[in-house]
């Protein structure tokens, strides 16, 4: 049963008890022999210690427990539950101070993270509106030109309609990429894992991007070169990994050095297959390397128009990052200005089946 007694009442009662003990010792001690006086003094010290300890327990520790109980109610959903009994526990005030400082630090980190996300949200909305307006305005311009001018010849009409269709196709690709990255972030898209030869997949992508590479006179190379003695098998979603490799190789061609070299290296590493895509372009400064996977982020803003005309939506690396992470891996960036850029990730290899005994 818990008594609701005020701290002032408890302090008065304990003070009276201490005063009574000391008065009794002062009254009785002169009449006692030396040995009994020493024993009485020891008993008095023990009694005063017990009373003072109870005073601290009642006046200070109880209030600390009330404060700590309030802290527990605030953070119960985030941190492990801690006992609020301070009896026989050292330095309760220091412990409470540490808890308050820890909670304040966590709240400050949450506030800073929310502020960072708010900035990213504003940048994302601005980038999306900018990327959407470009193809919409282009299509509107071509269509309204045809509608407003009845004397447009058939050749010009068809040409403008083709340009409007191209702009709308770019808009559709952008919307599809936004839907894809949203589904990947929510975990809606499931990876359909299967065994396939990643070396053959890279060769197929080289053939698909051969024309684009020829326009910039870029050489595409697969390492190891030449016919492989055995397929380079991995277990992953083939279509999604194809999307990742197309994005990485296409970026390497686009931003690498003209008349340069793009190398794709496949290297078995234990239970994984290491995939590297390297270009010999200008490289990425270190302060930008952590941001290249953000949506619509481009290091060189002057390349925005070039990327858009080349068919890029600015979401390729962001989508690639989420696909690779869905395969329990990460894309690593290694780049130095003037030394090119290497993007690397790992894919699981199939387990080896034991050979039957002869």
Least confident of 18-27, 28-37, 298-307: 298-307
The SS3 of residue 234 is strand
The SS3 of residue 192 is coil
Global pTM reads 0.59
pLDDT over threshold 90, residue 56: no
**71 — pLDDT class (breaks 50, 70, 90):** low
**Pairwise CA distance, residues 31 & 346, whole Å:** 90
**Digit-coded pLDDT (tens) for 188-230:** 778 889 999 999 999 999 999 999 899 999 999 998 865 556 7
Query: Which is more confident, 39 or 232?
Result: 232
- Residue 308's pLDDT is what? 44
**Pairwise CA distance, residues 98 & 105, whole Å:** 10
Query: Which is more confident, 269 or 264?
Result: 264
The SS3 of residue 342 is strand
The SS3 of residue 308 is helix
> What strands lie across the sheet with 332-335, from one edge to the other?
219-223, 261-269, 272-279, 341-348, 332-335
């Amino acid at each position: 049963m818990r008594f609701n007694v005020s701290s002032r009442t408890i302090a008065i009662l304990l003070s009276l008890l201490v005063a009574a003990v000391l008065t009794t010792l002062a009254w009785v001690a002169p009449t006692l022999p030396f040995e009994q006086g020493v024993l009485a003094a020891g008993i008095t010290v023990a009694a005063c210690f017990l009373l003072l300890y109870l005073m601290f327990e009642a006046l200070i520790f109880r209030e600390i427990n009330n404060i700590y109980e309030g802290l527990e109610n605030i953070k119960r959903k985030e941190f492990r539950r801690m006992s609020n009994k301070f009896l026989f526990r050292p330095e309760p005030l220091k412990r409470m101070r540490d808890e308050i400082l820890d909670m304040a630090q966590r709240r400050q980190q949450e506030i800073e993270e929310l502020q960072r996300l708010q900035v990213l949200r504003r940048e994302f909305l601005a980038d999306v509106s900018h990327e959407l307006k470009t193809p919409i305005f282009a299509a509107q311009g071509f269509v309204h030109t045809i509608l407003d001018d009845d004397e447009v010849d058939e050749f010009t009409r068809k040409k403008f309609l083709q340009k409007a269709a191209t702009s709308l196709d770019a808009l559709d690709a952008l919307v599809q990429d936004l839907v894809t990255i949203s589904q990947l972030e929510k975990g809606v898209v499931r990876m359909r894992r299967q065994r396939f030869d990643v070396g053959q997949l890279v060769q197929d992508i080289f053939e698909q991007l051969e024309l684009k590479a020829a326009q910039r006179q870029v050489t595409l190379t697969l390492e190891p070169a030449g016919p492989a003695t055995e397929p380079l098998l991995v277990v992953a979603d083939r279509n999604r990994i194809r999307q990742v490799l197309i994005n990485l190789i296409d970026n390497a061609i686009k931003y690498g050095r003209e008349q340069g070299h793009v190398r794709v290296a496949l290297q078995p590493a234990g239970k994984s297959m290491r995939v590297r895509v390297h270009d010999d372009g200008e490289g990425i400064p270190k302060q930008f390397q952590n941001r290249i996977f953000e949506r619509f982020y481009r290091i060189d803003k002057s390349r925005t128009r070039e990327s858009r005309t080349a068919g890029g939506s600015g979401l390729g690396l962001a989508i690639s990052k989420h696909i690779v992470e869905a395969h329990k891996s990460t894309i690593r960036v290694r780049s130095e200005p003037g030394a090119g850029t290497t993007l690397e990730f790992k894919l699981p290899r199939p387990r080896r089946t034991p050979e039957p005994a002869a």
